[in-house]
Amino acid sequence: MIELDGNEEEESVSAGNLMESRTSHLDDELSERLEEAFHKTTFSIHLHDVAKIASEYNPIDLAYAACRLPPHARAVLYENLPDWDAKVTFMINTDSATRWAVFRHLEDEKVKRLIEKMPADEAVWVLDDLPDRRYRRVLDLMDQKKSCQIRELQKHGRNTSGRLMTNEFFAFPMETTIAEAASFIRENPGIDMTRRVFVVDHRGELKGFVPARNLIVNQVHLPLRNVMRQVEHQVTTEATREEVVDLVERYKIPALPVVDKDNLLVGVITYEDVVETIEDIADETIAAMAGTAENVSEYDPVIKRFLARAPWLLVTLFAGIISAAIMSYYQEIEAELLGMIFFFIPLINGMSGNVGIQCSTVLVRSMAIGVLSVGKKGTAILKELSIGSLTGIIFGCLCGSIIYLLSYYGIGQFKGHAIQLGVTVGAGILGASMTATTLGVFSPFFFAKVGVDPALAAGPSVTAFNDIMSMVMFFVISGIINTIFFL
């Protein structure tokens, strides 16, 4: 095992090198040991070594390391885990490709036994990696109570609170005493104990909650109604995962109750579930901003990752063709006047692209973390437009001045027409920056309005469109200025 002392950890954090973290060192070491056990050249397997590794390491670490193994090796690693608890932990924490590889080698009876040992909310996500027909077969084999719990969770939308919640929780009538509640909790160790025990009426309607600490510090004969607190925040089964994250993150709620339309308590979302959801949202946002449909992972096959990226890159390809057509059109009609400014096309595209990406990224981030409300939308737009204008003015003047001096002193190819060329490039940068700012500011709100992830505003499609619009603006401004100079 790799162990880092306090000084090494502090140095690693202060250096800010994410690839040198403690877990990354552990993943590398574990991967090397597994690769030695699974010989790539002969495909022979040292089962004794695999079993030893499986018993020495935490199943969560093994779940991450399995992602780097060939599909057949992942199933072998799973089979050599020491007990069912380790197998359950492994399957919950690994990726979809590994689950699929393991399920291929398991009989329905073994899959059923594995799923029965999982919490219902985790089982739903794991079962998503089974084909529909096999999914139904496994559920038919399972205990009826567990099967009903899973089917009930499966009814809800994938990104709703109904899918995030667990329907295994502790809830008691108001007249229940602390002693009775504690006795019931002890008799049901299979249900995870959250930091809250909920209180309901005879109908099952949510009335309050009791912090776990109150069950310890108060007299055991007291009814729960005497020690319960009011529930300030709750969600319905159809609430989005973004609403859940916003509530839990803002108010630091350890267990968020989920109710139906009649205010009947049907589930609980734990803090751990919310942390996983935040990671999923972050992965999807990063993928959208990068212009790819792939999950953010380095372990997928090259061809699979290429196919996930290719459709987005086609947008850039066609945008480039359109840009070339526009450039050729302006070259034909203004060859003598505008020939020199073609040197500055990369500069214009680079500046406008970065300005637009900065605007859209800042707004998308504000939307994602919930600091940009509807009431503040106008202020945010005005601020970003102001920043874009200031950027265009300052950098336009700076670049125009530099070009003027280069042309005035005859440096390089910029000889003659010093004032004309400097004003053209400076005004072009200003116009392109304003165009990019406008697109970068309004595209996130447009995408959010039509129900598309606003992170796409920083993706290749908008970036390519921004390049086209900025270049057209540059040519239009250049044509106007050159016309004025020749009047």
- Name the band, by pLDDT with cuts 50, 70 and 90, for residue 444: confident
Residue 377 pLDDT exceeds 70? yes
Most confident of 55-69, 269-283, 461-475: 55-69
Residue 88 pLDDT exceeds 80? yes
Residue 337: predicted pLDDT: 46
C-alpha distance from residue 10 to each of 16, 18, 20, 29, 216 (Å): 10, 13, 12, 21, 38
The Cα–Cα gap between 148 and 84 comes to 22
Residue 11 pLDDT exceeds 50? no
Q: For residue 475, how many C-alpha atoms fall within 13 Å in the half-sphere facing its CB? A: 23
Distance of CA 225 to the CA centre of its chain: 41
Regarding whether 142 and 176 lie in a shared domain, the answer is no
**Residue 177 within any structural domain of the chain:** yes
Residue 5, judged by CB atoms within 10 A of its CB (0-12, 13-18, 19+), counts as exposed
Sheet (strand 196-200) strand order: 171-173, 196-200, 206-211
Q: For residue 432, how many C-alpha atoms fall within 13 Å in the half-sphere facing its CB? A: 31
**Residue 17 within any structural domain of the chain:** no
Residue 482's domain spans which residues?
A: 302-486
pLDDT digits 0-9 by tens, 215-241: 999 999 999 999 999 999 999 999 999
Which residue has 């036994």 as its token pair? Answer: 113
pLDDT digits 0-9 by tens, 380-431: 899 999 999 999 999 999 998 998 888 888 776 666 677 888 888 899 899 9
Per DSSP, helices labelled H in 369-457 are 377-408, 418-449
Regarding whether 127 and 81 lie in a shared domain, the answer is yes
Task: Please name the helix (run of DSSP H) or strand (run of DSSP E) that holds residue 364, with its range, or none.
Answer: helix 345-368
Q: Per the structure, how many domains does the chain have?
A: 3
**Residue 164 within any structural domain of the chain:** no
- Record the pTM: 0.65
Domain boundary pick from 110, 128, 156: 156
Which has the minimum average pLDDT: 156-165, 199-208, 336-345?
336-345
| Residues 109-114: contacts with CB under 8 Å, at least 24 apart | 109/141, 111/138, 112/138, 112/141, 112/142, 113/84, 114/84, 114/87, 114/88
Residue 103 pLDDT exceeds 50? yes
**Section 36-56 average pLDDT:** 75
The β-bridge partners of 236 are 259
| Residues 73-76: contacts with CB under 8 Å, at least 24 apart | 73/34, 73/38, 73/45, 74/98, 74/101, 74/102, 75/101, 75/102, 75/104, 75/105, 75/106, 76/38, 76/45, 76/47, 76/50
Regarding whether 150 and 27 lie in a shared domain, the answer is yes
**Residue 34 within any structural domain of the chain:** yes
Which has the minimum average pLDDT: 121-130, 382-391, 448-457?
448-457
- Name the band, by pLDDT with cuts 50, 70 and 90, for residue 4: very low
Residue 292 pLDDT exceeds 90? no
**Residue 166 within any structural domain of the chain:** no
Residue 370: predicted pLDDT: 66
> Tokens for 238?
């159809």
Per DSSP, helices labelled H in 94-177 are 96-104, 108-116, 120-127, 132-141, 144-154, 161-164
Print burial letters for 203-214: b (CB count within 10 Å at least 16), e (below 16).
ebebbbbbbbeb
**Residue 451 within any structural domain of the chain:** yes
Residue 363: predicted pLDDT: 85
**SS3 label, residue 193:** coil
